[in-house]
Structure 1
């Protein structure tokens, strides 16, 4: 269920529960934060391109496509996930971490950097929520994910369409996130947990039901005024969910660099892994 290119599998016990992760490479640590309804496999193409120079750590965060549920009482609100990211970094005694977030993983990364900056050396945001965005983002119809999470039955019913591979390319599933079709084995790793496990659905429902743009806008204020560490933006120039214009405004307010990736949608490491790896390396080595 996890690509061998991610490296060696591990598990770690955090206050919120057990988290699985993979590790590959040596050098400055990069902690990757994926978005909702994907897992560490979203990094399978980019890790081999970075692992000669970086220590790549790719956790499965409890966002609906993970395999091991966290504690039943775990806080999976945006501040709770940010705390989990900080706990992961602390448990491994990492320092000067490059925190790389994509899609809603970028939103959680902003909160982690704003609220728990002690061990974070730089923040890299790749096609994700900005202060201009709602959370979930409005383009593509993603607010439906939050609305149906109010009850276990509506939440479960919503995802039944993912049993049919033809639905994977709809705009409100993965079609506006990956420009090109994702291979079937990877897609099964994304959709099977939420389809087949009530415990995983419980985690995913807790996470998506609590997202709100007030969290990212508050984090953006802190990052602008008090973070004081390098921030870099890498963005799909044709992103249909997180418009480039919002990224430009956000980069200006942060005093951050902005690099663009063509021929890609939100999942930059899926559509253009080589260019994304090169831009990430260039950004953090400036």
Structure 2
């Protein structure tokens, strides 16, 4: 498949088993009842220990059991939360969800209250009827989510289309951002990347999920091949794992409604949401560090060069030879080390 057919990405829940290790943040609802802090049917005594061992990635069972839902005017926003103290907000790529951060959250939870939401139209978020999926809608949703969680300011960490949302959030709510750690993502000159054009056309036709996600779910070796999301977006041929594919793509093909919402997310990326943002980025005092996978076939080296000069308080760009678009999933320790270094400067 041509690289321009890239983002043809598309959960079934795994039975939860209690794992020893670091507990997630206290869950709000009483035992046996559901609430914003706990999925339906997960007792507090169980949910409190459904986390990875210290420093170890969450597996799918822990991920599904620990998921929370926060009601907002945009819908019920699915998110993970781990740790305490000043907050860090993790923004995933397309078509991923908060499972992307399963390795980074346990590493950073000792230092931050880590919150990883699922965007509108992706993951397990339940979108309100008639709600838009454009980047501006995502940014407004994030602001309300933080309000509901009583979080005033955050350290942002973002990848792919989540990086566009992060830049918009920093400009729209400058007082709410302490620092920004960007990985491969949209820049004003490359928003969206040319590789996304075929995806947008398939999404407009309403066929993207059926043509690409369904075959990848049915044949996970195909999904990890050069013709799948694995070969296009990951350097390690073992990625994404079977359970990651189920977590990412499963919910997006679970119903005609979910397919339509995901297609709306993709179509909304057609417009350059970062048009005219460069002056505001240059004027921002927020410290920004950029980590760039040099083998990325989606975003070009031109975006890396742009980001080297884009920020008024830029803290440098680190190039990662051989890494592709979704490298944060493969190298959570590197991401966590860079985040901790940046936070000391913020």
Answer with 243-252 or 178-187: which moved more.
243-252
Q: Does 1:236 align with 2:293?
A: yes
Give the corresponding residue for 1:16: 74
Give the corresponding residue for 1:271: 330
Query: Counterparts of 2:61 and 2:97 in 1: how far apart (Å)?
Result: 11
Larger Rg: 2
Gaps of 5+ in 2: 1-12, 14-59
For the 8 Å contact 2:183–2:291, the answer to whether it is kept is yes
Q: Does 1:155 align with 2:212?
A: no
For the 8 Å contact 2:101–2:116, the answer to whether it is kept is yes
Check 1:49–1:166 CA distance in 2 against 1; reply closer, same or farther (3 A cut): same
- Match of 1:58, SS state, is strand
TM-score by length of 2: 0.74
- Match of 1:234, SS state, is strand
Query: Counterparts of 2:271 and 2:154 in 1: how far apart (Å)?
Result: 25
Give the paired residue count.
280
- Match of 2:246, SS state, is helix
Give the corresponding residue for 1:45: 103
Q: Which has the higher helix share?
A: 1
Give the corresponding residue for 1:166: 221
Q: Does 1:36 align with 2:98?
A: no
Give the corresponding residue for 2:167: 110
For the 8 Å contact 1:124–1:233, the answer to whether it is kept is yes
Matching of residues 36-75 of structure 1 within 5 Å: 36-64=94-122, 66-75=123-132
Check 1:5–1:13 CA distance in 2 against 1; reply closer, same or farther (3 A cut): closer
Give the corresponding residue for 2:342: 283
Q: Does 1:142 align with 2:196?
A: yes
Query: Counterparts of 1:23 and 1:69 in 2: how far apart (Å)?
Result: 18
For the 8 Å contact 1:131–1:213, the answer to whether it is kept is no
- Match of 1:166, SS state, is helix
Answer with 157-166 or 190-199: which moved more.
157-166
Deviations 1:119-156 (A, max 9, x none): 22222211111123141x22xx432111112233x234
Answer with 11-20 or 165-174: which moved more.
165-174
Check 1:199–1:69 CA distance in 2 against 1; reply closer, same or farther (3 A cut): farther
Query: Counterparts of 2:64 and 2:114 in 1: how far apart (Å)?
Result: 8
Say which of 113, 123, 132 aligns to 2:189. 132
Check 1:232–1:217 CA distance in 2 against 1; reply closer, same or farther (3 A cut): farther
Deviations 1:212-259 (A, max 9, x none): 35212333332223x332222122233232234422322313141222
Deviations 1:167-218 (A, max 9, x none): 3134563422211122111111111122222222122111111113521233
- Match of 2:119, SS state, is coil
Query: Counterparts of 1:17 and 1:82 in 2: how far apart (Å)?
Result: 14
How big is the shift at 1:6?
9.2
Query: Counterparts of 1:109 and 1:28 in 2: how far apart (Å)?
Result: 18
- Match of 1:215, SS state, is coil
Q: CA RMSD in A?
A: 2.2
Query: Counterparts of 1:233 and 1:195 in 2: how far apart (Å)?
Result: 33
TM-score by length of 1: 0.89
Matching of residues 73-92 of structure 1 within 5 Å: 73-92=130-149
Query: Counterparts of 1:114 and 1:5 in 2: how far apart (Å)?
Result: 31
Answer with 214-223 or 202-211: which moved more.
214-223
- Match of 1:214, SS state, is coil
- Match of 2:67, SS state, is strand
Give the corresponding residue for 2:234: 178
